């Protein structure tokens, strides 16, 4: 069944899927995934895409990006093995080459048992502190290293700088220590924070990376691959989804400025990589739900739907995003509050508010059994859904494959 986010028959298609498969149903438009990937590549032609699997780990999304030539940012063993599924028919030597060249284990702090399991694969892993360096040396000595540095996350919806990244003062000593321990330090990485709306975070990261490359070299070591001469700079993720709301810098404008800064600061032997997740999947997924109950209290209509905060709308808690619920039918909109299906009062999808910035709190009069839908739900939604209270996670349907 053909389906795109811009198709005029979108509502009809979504309703047909919901009636055939039941709700809640999470619809992934594979064509939009491809479009987003190609848009990123077009605007960053010299940057290799390492898709951040944590954003949405549906196997067909991973397979689609694999077929397009993407690389992968993984942060857990299940994510690592999910990517490996796509290379299981390769020769062992080809599998090893793929893992080394196209997978980065980007979680800076790893469990000991994880390092033991990664060791045979000779992975490329990140680190950002001395204890982690000692742990890697003991439990995964064949790894190649990427040093993650701390950069400002000001203006990003999700701040990562308080948890990860070596300070400017620690970065050079960490790199020197890694070399002295016999490691190959392939490059540097940073992350500006998720849904970053401040381009200065990227520019600060680029300038800091250039400084650290130079400072380490002044002390007798060279970050990079000694055989190829290349050094990696991972500019991380954070590329914002423009569909979330106004005031977000257009992606093409952001890319133009960053490309100019990268060209100004670095020579041709730098291999740039990035870890987009949200940018690839956010606008490619739509959720359809059913109204399962209705009540009238204090002059406000309450609707109960079959998905909520503990399910696909978990992104409202963990990812700090607001998702707009829309009706398929037309009609005069009334102020309302929308609850998820669980017995917890916290399970409130839309707030009871007069604030017009929450348009999903206004719907035409809905009847029990009617359908609602929410767009732009591809990133950090289904990924953090649970079975709390026994309610199942939304079923997933892929279209336009």
Mean pLDDT of 130-153: 93
Q: Which residues of 148-186 are buried (b: 16+ CB within 10 A; e: fewer)?
A: bbbbbbebbbbebbeebbbeeebbbebbbbbbeeebebb
**pLDDT tens across 68-108, in order?**
999 999 999 999 999 999 999 999 999 999 999 999 999 99
Amino acid 356: pLDDT: 46
Q: Tokens standing for 207?
A: 């300038």
Confidence of residue 151 (pLDDT cuts 50, 70, 90): confident
Rounded distance between C-alpha atoms, residue 337 and residue 301, angstroms? 6
What is the structure's pLDDT at 358?
A: 47
User: In 266-376, which residue ranges form alpha helices assigned H by DSSP?
Assistant: 278-281, 315-318
Least confident of 154-158, 180-184, 188-192, 386-390: 154-158
pLDDT reported for residue 1: 41
Annotation says 398 is catalytic:
no
Among residues 196, 285, 343, 398, the one annotated as catalytic is 343
Is-above-0.95 flag for pTM?
A: no
Farthest-apart Cα atoms in the chain, separation: 73
pLDDT of 100-114, one tens digit each? 999 999 999 999 999
Catalogue all structural domains in the chain, each as residue range(s) with its CATH number.
Answer: 10-25+283-399 (2.40.37.10), 30-281 (3.20.20.10)
Question: For position 105, what pLDDT does the model report?
Answer: 97
Residue 252 is predicted with a pLDDT of 95
pLDDT class of 5 with cuts at 50, 70, 90: very low
Distance CA 80, CA 74 (A): 6
Tens digit of pLDDT for each residue in 152-172? 666 455 555 667 889 989 999
Digit-coded pLDDT (tens) for 240-276? 788 887 778 889 999 999 999 999 999 788 999 999 9
> pLDDT at residue 357 above 70?
no
The pLDDT of residue 387 is: 96
């Amino acid at each position: 069944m053909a389906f795109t986010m811009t198709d005029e028959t979108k509502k009809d298609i979504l309703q047909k899927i919901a009636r055939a498969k039941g709700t809640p149903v999470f619809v992934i438009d594979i064509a939009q995934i491809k479009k987003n990937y190609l848009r990123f590549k077009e605007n960053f032609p010299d940057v290799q895409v390492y898709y951040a699997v944590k954003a949405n780990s549906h196997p067909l999304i991973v397979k689609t990006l694999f077929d397009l030539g993407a690389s992968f940012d993984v942060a857990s063993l299940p994510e690592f093995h999910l990517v490996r599924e796509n290379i299981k028919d390769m020769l062992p030597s080809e599998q090893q080459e793929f893992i080394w060249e196209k997978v980065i284990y980007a979680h800076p702090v790893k469990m000991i048992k994880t390092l033991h399991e990664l060791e045979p694969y000779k992975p490329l892993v990140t680190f950002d502190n001395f204890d982690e360096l000692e742990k890697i040396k003991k439990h995964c000595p064949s790894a190649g290293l990427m040093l993650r540095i701390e950069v400002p996350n000001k203006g990003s919806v999700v701040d990562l700088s308080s948890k990860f990244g070596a300070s400017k003062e620690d970065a050079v000593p960490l790199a020197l220590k890694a070399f002295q321990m016999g490691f190959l330090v392939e490059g540097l990485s940073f992350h500006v924070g998720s849904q970053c709306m401040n381009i200065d975070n990227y520019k600060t990261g680029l300038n800091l990376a250039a400084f650290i490359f130079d400072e380490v070299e002044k002390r007798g070591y060279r970050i990079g691959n000694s055989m190829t001469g290349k050094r990696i700079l991972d500019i991380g993720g954070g590329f914002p989804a423009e569909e979330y709301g106004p005031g977000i810098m257009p992606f093409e404008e952001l890319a133009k400025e960053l490309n100019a800064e990268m060209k100004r600061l670095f020579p041709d032997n730098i291999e740039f990589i990035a870890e987009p997740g949200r940018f690839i999947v956010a606008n490619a997924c739509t959720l359809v739900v059913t109204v399962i109950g209705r009540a009238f209290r204090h002059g406000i209509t309450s609707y109960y739907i079959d998905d909520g905060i503990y399910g696909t709308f978990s992104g409202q808690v963990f990812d700090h995003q607001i998702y707009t619920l829309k009706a398929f039918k037309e009609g005069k909109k009334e102020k309302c509050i929308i609850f998820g299906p669980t017995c917890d009062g916290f399970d409130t999808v839309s707030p009871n508010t007069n604030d017009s910035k929450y348009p999903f709190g206004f719907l035409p009069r809905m009847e029990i059994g009617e359908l609602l839908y929410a767009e732009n739900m591809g990133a950090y939604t289904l990924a953090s859904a649970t079975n709390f209270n026994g309610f199942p996670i939304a079923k997933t349907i892929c279209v336009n494959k």
